Amino acid sequence: MEILDILKVNKLVFEYILNLDDVELNQLLNGVKVLSLKDGQVIKDKLTDKKRINKKVKGREQKLSKRKSKASGIKNDSDDERLEEVLIKLNSVITKEEAHEYLKESGLKVDELKAIAKKAEIFIKSRSKKDEIIDKLVQGTVGVKIKMKILTEG
């Protein structure tokens, strides 16, 4: 790899980090958020996610469906973004009590809580009740973070 290519990548990363707000930057520094590399496709000198690119089928454009499966409890992109924000907030909370209170007061339905658990890779039984799902979410996010902090410090 040439130095020019490395400088271009550095520029991309720095521009991305400079556009983060203070909360996101702190989450990145604390390990709540991570930078990831996704496969993309170059279109007009911009790197974009393949999912957002229109698919061409037999000479005509066919847009990819924005609907998620009913099983996930997510109906559209705005719901998905809202659930992502809840997960980010949940990961930024420090105590289990705060996380539990936040989820109780958020007004999320069981399907939405299950979708958040799926995003966080937390196993939830299909017949779990709302309180059980909230407990699992708190334990799987804040609880794990507390345990890791204890293990690394002690």
**pTM across the whole model:** 0.51
Q: Which residue has the higher pLDDT, 144 or 54?
A: 144
Q: Tell me how far CA of residue 117 lies from CA of 37, 42, 44, 89, 90, in angstroms.
A: 23, 33, 37, 14, 11
Q: How far is CA 83 from the centre of its chain?
A: 8
Contact 86, 116 (CB under 8 A): yes
Helix axes 77-92, 110-119, angle to 10 degrees: 70
- The per-residue pLDDT for range 80-131, each reduced to its tens digit, is 888 999 988 988 888 999 999 999 999 999 999 999 999 888 999 989 999 9
- Mean pLDDT (the chain) is 76
Could you tell me where the DSSP H helices lie in the chain? 3-18, 22-30, 77-92, 96-105, 110-119, 130-138, 144-153
